[in-house]
Every structure is written in C-alpha cells, then in structure tokens.
C-alpha cells in the first residue's frame, strides 16, 4: 500500500478515536493547554538556575492560586447577576407586549400578537424554574453517585495531569522528534517550530486580549451603573475569541438592559462609548502588540473553523478549532511555498511541450 494511503488511514483513525473518546477528552485538553502555557515560564525559571521540578512547581502553584482566586471572586458575582437577570425577564416580556409589539404590528400590518402570546405563556410558565436549575442539577448529581464521582474525578484529574505534562514537556518533544523518519525530520521540525510560534502567539495573545476586553467592558458598564454590567462585560470578553462576535453580542445586550433600566439616551450613548473604546483598544493596541500577523486567519475562516469544530466534535471541537486552524494555515503556507518553487507552477518548457 502506498505511503499516502497509510497517512490517510492513520489520519482517519485518529479522527475516529477523537470522536469516540470525546466524553473523556476535556480534562486532558485543559491540562494540555495549561502545560503548553506554563512551559515557557518554566523554561525561563530553569535558565535562572532552578531545577525543572522546582520550576514546574512554582509555575503550577502560581497558576493554581490564580485560578482559585479568580473563581472565588468572579463566580459568586456573576452568579448573583445571572439570577437577577432571570428575575427581570417578566418585566421585559410585559414591555414588549405592551409597547414594542403594537408598534411593530402598526408598521408592518402583520399580526404577531397571537404568536407572541404563546411564547409569553411558555416563558412565564417556566422562567421561575431557571433560577433553580443549578440546585436541581446538584441534587441529581448527589443522587447519582457514579455521575458525581466521575465529575469530581475529572476535576481532580486536571491539576495532576497538568503537573506531569508540564514536568515532562521537553522530554515528550524530544521523544516525538526521535520517532520521526530521518528524511523528514528537518522539515517536520521546522514546521513544528512555526506551529509552536503561531499557537503560542494565538493562545497567550488571545487569552490576554479576552481578559483585557472583558475587564474594560465590565468596568466601563459598572461605572455607568448598568445592571448586570459585570456579567455582560465578562461574557463579551469571553466570546471575543470569535472576531466581532463578542463586541456585537455585548453591545446589543448592554443597550437593551440600559434601555429598560434608564429609559434615556445618554446612558445608551455611554454604553456605545465603552464598546467603542474596547474595539479601538483591541484593533490599535492589543492585536498588533500581542498577535501581530503571525496567526494569518481571516475572520471568516475563524468563524467557519469554530462552527466546523462544533459540528464535528461538539464543545471540545469548538475549543480545538482555532488552534487546529492555525496549524493548518502553517502547513498550507508551506505547501504553497513548495508549489511556487516547483516546476508545475513555473515550467518554462510547458508551452513548448504542449505544442
């Protein structure tokens, strides 16, 4: 069997394996990302004289403390605002029915009040249940010992796997390099180095961009007195990994909340100013400084990659989509360079041979 067919079969087997193991991949994927992000810091500490184990321990403890402190501070605030947001749903529904729906029917000559009344009945019948979803889920987990055990095991597995991955990161890279066929080792190593630069720029840079934007949005909306400003700002920063989606979703949600809260124009202008500042900060400072042109992914390609990853592998696919797309871009640039240097692209004898 030709080598190309073996490569195709191996690739198909890997895709099938990823799909089959999807339910247990999440803790290993999170551990892999944490180890990848922490490895440069551990290497820097090693160059300052620390042993690998001590450097990894320092990085691991710092990351663990950062995650725990963030969870203790942010999660209660976000959860409180989420419950408050659920409580005002009936107010919004009543306003839409009494003000917006009649005007829309007047402008369009289309009767939508009947359909909206059915939607209103469904929402009013179930909106109070939303505030108790977490309690129901926790109660169900407590009654299902196996599900609770699996959930706790996955949670405890993340720091353990992260520590050992980070400890053996350089050793794993050397082992993979030694397994490569000698004829392909220089090319594969060069491509792997380029992929590492792209992934490093993307993961570290995009993480900082998301955190900064989330902070700017949350602080700005909170200073304006917008209800749920922290929740809206953090949500907009989190989904800003997809170009323009975070800003569009955040400003629409914030403007809607501001309209119901203040019923005035100036607060809504202030909300638009907050997101304009965030957009300018992202485009003029954060993106050029942290990401530059290393990623090379068009916004349309980013959106397609996220949707394709979610369709193929669910939530894990969404998380893996952009790193995989960045690696594919590196490989495609390499193949394009090989094609442009080949006789197939620039063969001076092609016209003569065709004649």
The DSSP-derived string for 217-257 is HHHHHHHTT-TTHHHHHHHHHHGGGSTTHHHHHHHHHHHHH
Alpha helices by DSSP H, 48-144: 52-87, 89-95, 101-108, 113-130, 133-143
Q: What is the pLDDT along the chain (355 residues), one digit of tens a residue?
A: 555 566 667 767 777 776 677 667 778 878 888 888 888 889 999 999 889 899 999 998 988 888 888 778 777 877 777 777 776 777 777 777 677 777 776 777 666 666 656 666 655 555 555 545 455 555 554 555 555 566 677 778 888 888 888 888 888 888 888 887 778 788 888 888 888 877 777 777 778 888 899 999 999 999 998 888 888 888 888 888 776 778 888 898 888 888 878 878 888 999 999 999 998 888 788 777 766 555 566 667 777 877 787 777 666 677 677 777 778 888 888 888 888 887 777 766 655 554 4
Quick one: pLDDT at residue 231? 85
- Tokens linked to 43: 């290497």
| Triad 326, 59, 35: Cα angle to 5° | 30
Whole-angstrom distance, CA of residue 194 vs CA of residue 59: 25
Q: Is the Cβ–Cβ distance between 344 and 355 less than 8 Å? A: no
- Burial letters for 335-350: b for 16+ Cβ neighbours within 10 Å, e otherwise? eeeeeeeeeeeeeeee
CA distances from 325 to 22, 36, 320, 354 (A): 19, 17, 8, 39
* Longest distance between any two alpha carbons in the chain, whole Å: 80
Name the pTM for this structure.
0.66
Q: Which of 302, 307, 330 is nearest to 318 (CA)?
A: 307
Q: Which residue is it, tokens 């959930």? A: 151
Whole-angstrom distance, CA of residue 295 vs CA of residue 282: 15
Quick one: pLDDT at residue 199? 78
Residues written for the chain: 355
């Amino acid at each position: 069997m030709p080598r190309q067919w073996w490569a195709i079969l191996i690739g198909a087997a890997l895709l099938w394996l990823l799909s089959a193991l999807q339910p247990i991949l999440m803790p290993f994927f999170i551990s892999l990302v944490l180890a990848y992000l922490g490895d440069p810091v551990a290497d820097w500490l090693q160059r300052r004289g620390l042993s690998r184990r001590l450097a990894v321990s320092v990085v691991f403890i710092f990351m663990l403390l950062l995650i725990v402190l963030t969870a203790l501070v942010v999660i209660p605030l976000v959860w409180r605002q989420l419950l408050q947001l659920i409580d005002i749903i009936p107010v919004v529904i009543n306003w839409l029915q009494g003000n917006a729906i009649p005007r829309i029917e007047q402008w369009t000559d289309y009767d939508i009040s009947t359909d909206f009344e059915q939607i209103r009945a469904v929402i009013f019948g179930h909106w109070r249940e939303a505030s108790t979803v977490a309690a129901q889920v926790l109660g169900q987990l407590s009654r299902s010992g196996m599900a609770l055990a699996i959930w706790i095991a996955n949670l405890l597995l993340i720091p353990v796997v992260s520590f050992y991955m980070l400890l053996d990161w350089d050793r794993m890279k050397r082992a993979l390099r030694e397994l490569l066929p000698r004829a392909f080792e220089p090319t594969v190593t060069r491509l792997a180095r380029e992929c590492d630069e792209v992934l490093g720029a993307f993961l570290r840079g995009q993480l900082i961009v998301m955190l900064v934007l989330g902070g700017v949005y949350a602080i700005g909306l909170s200073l304006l007195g917008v209800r749920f400003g922290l929740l809206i700002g953090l949500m907009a920063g989190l989904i800003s990994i997809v170009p323009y989606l975070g800003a569009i979703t955040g400003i629409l949600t914030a403007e809607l909340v501001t309209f119901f809260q203040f019923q005035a124009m100036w607060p809504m202008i202030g909300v638009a100013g907050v997101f304009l500042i965030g957009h300018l900060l992202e485009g003029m400072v954060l993106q050029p400084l942290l990401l530059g042109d290393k990623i090379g992914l068009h916004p349309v390609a980013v959106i397609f990659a996220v949707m394709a990853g979610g369709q193929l592998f669910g939530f894990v696919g969404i998380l893996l989509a952009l790193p995989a797309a960045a690696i594919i871009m590196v490989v495609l640039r390499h193949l394009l360079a090989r094609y442009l240097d080949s006789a197939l692209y620039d063969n001076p004898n092609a016209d003569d041979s065709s004649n």
